[in-house]
Chain A
Amino acid sequence: MARILMKGNEAIAEAAIRAGATNYFCYPITPQSEVAEYLVKRMPEVGGVFLQAESEIAVANMILGASCTGKRVFTSSSSPGISLMQEGLSYMAGSQLPCVVLNIVRGGPGLGGILPAQSDYFQAVKGGGHGDYRLLVLAPSTIQEAVDLTMLAFHLADKYRNPVMILGDGMIGQMMEPVEFPDSYSEPELPPKDWAATGASDRDPLIIRSLFLDPTTLEENSIILHKKYEQAKKEEIRFENYKVKPSNKVLIVSYGTMARICQTVIDDLEPEGYSVGLFRPISLFPYPEVALRKEATRKNIESVLVVEMSMGQMVEDVEKAVAGARPVNFFGRTGGIVPTPEEVKDQIKKLIKKKSRRGRPAKKRK
């Protein structure tokens, strides 16, 4: 199919439809309202459900109810709205219900701003709501990747019977890039949805719930969830290396659109003689811990630099992966300010200078 120019929010919305998610519930919030504006026109064409709810609390519970039918459901929001959805997401994880949630992250905390940020990392990858559960989290860095990951997200949601989050930032939502949709959508076969509430006509009644007052049963449920997350750690690790090679002295770790800015940094520094590589996690949960450790502990790597649009959140997962084998440094801007390539370049030059200075004999320093 031909490449077409689409805004991120619209491309993701179209991808959801292509993946068979014809049930969408929403509440308006900048910078992702184009998703709703696109789907309100598109849903009737495919006979789907579009509903604007009274709040994000209601949205999360509508997708909870809708997901119980066994049909694919989708919602989108931005940071403050995602906070309101945590109740429903916790219930869905506890009840083992699939759904896909798009979070076009804006600066926080509180009402914050509306410009791009990555400050919802903790909320996204550590559970977000109450209880022992995780969301599977995917972070695209281009619009094409956002399309591909959105389609994958619906498959993973069904495969693991768990909510999956697409974590983008304002840039992913607002910018336009060429995208290609596959001519036909196909995915590996999934088990039948015998857990869905379809009416007790030819089977015993079923109950979809996360309430287990008996502690043994509740523990059993948490163990089932845990096993699914362990399986995801084996099967759903996704990342990309950019110019990672033996000569690298610094390894940048960055995700989403921030990683693209780091690519520019690496390209610009190359002719100046700095050898820098980029490790870009695509699945933020499960986190590509083992792969990162391998790249970060290559012989010539002197230090690791984590770059985020936050005050430092993913850096904790990088520290865990590197486990003290190399120094882990952090650079970030937040509140909607996007680090410029120049700022990141300065950080790298400082790191490399610091390192080489230390190696010089003392007398030459005077």
Chain B
Amino acid sequence: MVAETLDELNLRERTCGIAPVGCSVLAYNYFNCDFLEAPHGRAPALATGFKRVRPDMIVFTYQGDGDLASIGMAEIVHSANRGEKFTTIFVNNAIYGMTGGQMAPTTLEGQITTTSPIGRNVQQTGQPVRVAELLSTLNTPAYIERVAVHTPQNIIGAKRAIRKAFAYQAAGTCFSLIEVLSTCPTNWGLTPDEATAWLQEKMTPYFPLGCFKSPESDEDSDGPV
């Protein structure tokens, strides 16, 4: 959907993507634009450096929940707070996928992972982090929306949000982050069908979909609309 958007908006030839460490570490093999590879969690810092020097280019980071919400929390918060004019695609599947299914900051209460074998105990490990909500509390204007990709209807919504994010960037308006709820059947230990249902039943109540902040209206920052 990101690649599609870049082509639709005719941005590909002046785009530079930034790959994280995590499931999408090899993202550059699937894109037809220039790509940089970042240390774990630091993609927003690379994006800041690159975009500041080349504000005429389109820059996006593609990060998972371990990368962005754990080790890279400082980088994403400060990039958003400075209003860096790049786009972050944040894939939230509630687990560390690449390293084999460990607990992530977004892992739900009671969810079983290899490092929470009897289910996440929130007394000891805290509550799952809601990134879209957290970043929306910042005063700096931004476009922040949470979408999902488990049904065709949701995919259409996700595409619309991603397109909007890159349009904001192309116009030099603001920082943009699209949180994408996604399944990980392998590490969840579910079939694809079960995983889709699990996302709908377990994830969306805790991670509500919607736009949390948009540059047009500050009232949006109070919650989903």
Contacts and interface: CB of A to CB of B under 8 A. Distances in A.
A/B contact in complex, CB under 8 angstroms: yes
Contacts of B14: 199, 201
Nearest to B28: A207
B42 A88 contact: yes
Interface in A186-217: 197-201, 205-211
Interface size class, chain B:
20 to 34
A106 to B, nearest CB: 24
A28 to B, nearest CB: 15
A200 B12 contact: yes
B202 interface: no
A61 B36 contact: no
Contacts of B51: 65
Interface string B161-199: 000000000000000000000000000000000000000
Interface residues of A, number: 38
A92 to B, nearest CB: 10
Nearest to B52: A49
A352 to B, nearest CB: 52
B37 A23 contact: no
B53 A71 contact: yes
Contacts of A62: 45-46, 48-49, 52
Contacts of A65: 18, 36, 38, 45-51
Contacts of B34: 197-200, 205-208
A68 interface: yes
Interface string A311-329: 0000000000000000000
A95 B32 CA distance: 20
Question: Which of B14, B36, B39, B51 has the most A CB atoms < 10 Å from its CB?
Answer: B36
Interface string B38-65: 1100100111111111100100000000
A91 interface: yes
A55 interface: yes
Interface of B: 12-16, 18-19, 25, 28, 31-39, 42, 45-54, 57, 74-75, 77-78
Question: Which 7 residue pairs of A and B lie closest in terms of their CB atoms, listed nearest first?
Answer: A65-B49, A65-B46, A62-B49, A61-B45, A66-B49, A209-B37, A201-B13
Interface of A: 23, 25, 49, 51, 53-55, 57-69, 71, 73, 87-88, 91, 95, 197-201, 205-211
11 contacts: A53-B48, A54-B77, A61-B75, A63-B49, A68-B46, A73-B53, A197-B35, A199-B16, A205-B35, A208-B36, A209-B35
